[in-house]
Amino acid sequence: MFHALVAVKQVPDTTNIRIDSETGNLVREGVPAIMNPYDAHALAEAVRWKQQLGGKVTVLSMGPNSFISTLREAVELGADRGVLLTDRKFAGADTLATSYVLAETIKAIHEQDPIHLIFFGKQAIDGDTAQVGPGVAVRLGLPIVTYAVKIREVNLEEGRAVIERKTERWTEVVETSLPVLLTCEKEIAEIPFAPLPDLIRSLRYDPEMWTMEGPCNFELDQVGVKGSPTIVYKMGTPPLPQPGEQINTRESGIEEAVKFAFDKANKAGIVKLILGGAR
């Protein structure tokens, strides 16, 4: 039976954030928490395939109790089962420690109920690292398709899938064995407006809470702060880029303006560079 797993993260709604001008930290007070938008689109695609093939969708997240609301939202969007990894010892994890905990958990879930597709968003809108998905794939020794925009085909019998991924210039079409891990762009699927019965079920749903105590066994020195070699040196807002010099062509005339621009380029050595290239 088809089984997809979707890893979701709760993030502050960054369309709505403020930076504390003194500390440079994000002001989290009063900022609404949402499901990472890329994860939501990935989940929508997983649910779409479940509706086509039958089977089920499990969502997985790691974070404090407040993340329960995000797992409920996942159930609203069509997930069947939610697992929240929550333990003080997991706190302060960087992408290395996070991928360790997620990979171990996915292994355990896979043993209970074999997984065919593992979905991640392409990145989280708060950290923007895009590292956790690939990290999990490496730890599990799975093929990975990043920046997925479309799943053309899933063939459970033959154990293969055909996926389109976006690159800077074109779309690549890849065929992969299953299970496979994808990190998804928003184009992968539209987020549906859930039917009322699904919403009501989600509001009453309590996800499974997995901790250090079990059901998975974790190495203490690989989780949380202990398992995280990353050190944040400093955080701040980058300075606003200064606009360049401007010249009003109506006042100066076009010839003067071109000369002005050419002189600037010449002084900066750009003209030489271009002419040099032409030779």
Partner 1 sequence: MNTRDERISFDVIVVGAGLAGPAAAMVAARAGLNVALIERGQKPGGKNYFGGAIYTHAIEELIPDFMNRRPPFERPVTEAGFWFLSEDGLTRMTVQGGKLANQPADAYTTLRASFDLWWTEQAQKEGVFLIPKTTVVDFIREADGQVIGVKTDRPQGDIYAPVVIICEGVNNLLTQKLGLIEHDLEPAHLALGVKQVISLPPETINARFGLPDNDHGLAVSVLGDVSLGLPGMGFVYTNSKTLSVGLGVMLSTLAEYKLKPYEVLQRYLQHPVIAPLVAGGQLLEYGGHLIPEGGYRDMPKLYTGGALVAGDAAAMVNALHWEGTNMAIIAGKLAGETAIEAHGRGDFSSKVMVGYEERLKESFILPDLKQYRGFSHFLDTHPEFMGTYPAFLNDALGDFFSAYGRPKMQLFKGMLGSLTGRRSLPRAAGDIISMGRAVLGW
Interface contacts to partner 1, rule CB under 8 A: 18, 30, 32, 193-197, 199-200, 203
Spatial distance between the Cα atoms of 56 and 49, rounded to a whole number of angstroms: 9
What is the smallest separation between the CB atom of 116 and partner 1, expressed in angstroms?
A: 27
Length of the chain: 279
Spatial distance between the Cα atoms of 12 and 86, rounded to a whole number of angstroms: 18
By beta-carbon proximity to partner 1, the closer residue of 108 and 199 is: 199
By beta-carbon proximity to partner 1, the closer residue of 167 and 237 is: 237
What is the smallest separation between the CB atom of 25 and partner 1, expressed in angstroms?
A: 16
Tokens standing for residue 19: 């930076």
By beta-carbon proximity to partner 1, the closer residue of 125 and 199 is: 199
Angle at 184 between CA 31 and CA 97, to 5 degrees: 65
By beta-carbon proximity to partner 1, the closer residue of 16 and 112 is: 16
What is the smallest separation between the CB atom of 31 and partner 1, expressed in angstroms?
A: 11
Task: Spell out the SS3 assignment of 70-105.
Answer: HHHHHHHCCCCEEEEECCHHHCCCCHHHHHHHHHHH
What is the smallest separation between the CB atom of 78 and partner 1, expressed in angstroms?
A: 12
Spatial distance between the Cα atoms of 120 and 168, rounded to a whole number of angstroms: 20
By beta-carbon proximity to partner 1, the closer residue of 96 and 199 is: 199
By beta-carbon proximity to partner 1, the closer residue of 54 and 197 is: 197
Instruction: Give residue for tokens 């088809």.
Output: 2
List b or e across 160-190, with b for residues whose CB sees 16 or more CB atoms inside 10 angstroms.
Answer: ebebbbbeeeeeeeeebebbbbbbbbbebbe
What is the smallest separation between the CB atom of 29 and partner 1, expressed in angstroms?
A: 10
What is the smallest separation between the CB atom of 32 and partner 1, expressed in angstroms?
A: 7
By beta-carbon proximity to partner 1, the closer residue of 194 and 271 is: 194
What is the smallest separation between the CB atom of 143 and partner 1, expressed in angstroms?
A: 36
| CB count in 10 Å sphere of residue 77 | 24
Please name which of 34, 41, 75 lies closest in space to residue 199, comparing C-alpha atoms.
75
Angle at 202 between CA 196 and CA 208, to 5 degrees: 165
